Amino acid sequence: MPALIITFIVLLIIVVVLKKYFNSPETIGKMGEFEVKSVIGKTIENKKYVINDLTVLNNEMTCQIDHIVINRRGIFVIETKNYTGRIYGSENQREWTQVLAYGKKKYKFYNPVKQNATHVYNVSRIVGNLPIYSLVVFVQNNTHHIEADNVIPLNKLRMVLRNGDDVLNQEQMKFAYQTLLANKVEKTVKEHIENIQEQQRNIKNCICPRCGGNLTLKKGKYGEFYGCSNYPKCKFTKKI
């Protein structure tokens, strides 16, 4: 009998640990990235180049990019989101909302369009004036309540990557791929989190997290906001 009790307790602990692991934000995020990887496939020489989980440096700060696909249509910088429930957000909002449990639970998260704009900026800084496109992919295909360009469900990703005019030749594709890999840096998760926290402090201190320029007060169509002093090269903005 004691042996059965011990076995039951051990199994119960294993179930609890596994449940906690699979429900953690890190695991959910990785599962979403795996889904995107299965759609974009692997590098095919002279036809398509794929880079997953690329970390690059910008002014001693790290920038982690989920996926980059380089084909004749251009360079696609992909940010993956694996949120369930209904997602509400627009291109200019700083935060979007995840709604669960029939509206009983609501969670805020940083606008992934703005997040990926930083990634696009860093890629352009490395590859120059080659055509770059931002894509935010929601793995759960729950984009019905999102009002933002280049935000797509996973089931449309393959089509988006294939459609369009040819804008890159083989030499340009290979150059972009090799140059991005040459700028890859190895950073631990802890270091990357510390860099994100530093970027948030910079924003509060009116320092642009993308290029290190000054954030100055400006007036626009929708009121006052902070914009980077290096505009139009850097288009980072911060709402008041």
pLDDT tens, 11-30? 666 666 555 555 566 676 67
Is the backbone peptide bond immediately before 232 cis, with ω within 30 degrees of 0? yes
Q: Are 148 and 89 contacting, i.e. CB atoms less than 8 angstroms apart?
A: yes
Q: Are 181 and 207 contacting, i.e. CB atoms less than 8 angstroms apart?
A: no
Residues 6+ apart with CB under 8 A from 144: 86
Note the pLDDT tens digit of each residue in 60-99: 678 899 999 999 999 999 999 999 999 999 998 999 999 9
pLDDT at 14 (0 to 100): 65
Segments making up each domain of the chain, as ranges = 21-204, 206-240
Q: Give the C-alpha separation, 100 to 89, whole Å.
A: 15
Residue 100: pLDDT above 80?
A: yes
pLDDT at 77 (0 to 100): 98
pLDDT confidence tier of residue 150, bands split at 50, 70 and 90: very high
Q: Give the C-alpha separation, 130 to 44, whole Å.
A: 20
Q: Which residue has the higher pLDDT, 197 or 229?
A: 229
Note the pLDDT tens digit of each residue in 104-124: 999 999 999 999 999 999 999
pLDDT at 130 (0 to 100): 97
State the CB neighbour count (10 A cutoff) for residue 56: 19
pLDDT at 223 (0 to 100): 74
Residue 138: pLDDT above 70?
A: yes
Indicate the pTM of the whole model.
0.73
Q: Which residue has the tokens 């906690």?
A: 20
Note the pLDDT tens digit of each residue in 169-224: 999 999 999 999 999 987 655 555 566 666 666 666 677 776 777 778 787 776 77
pLDDT at 28 (0 to 100): 66
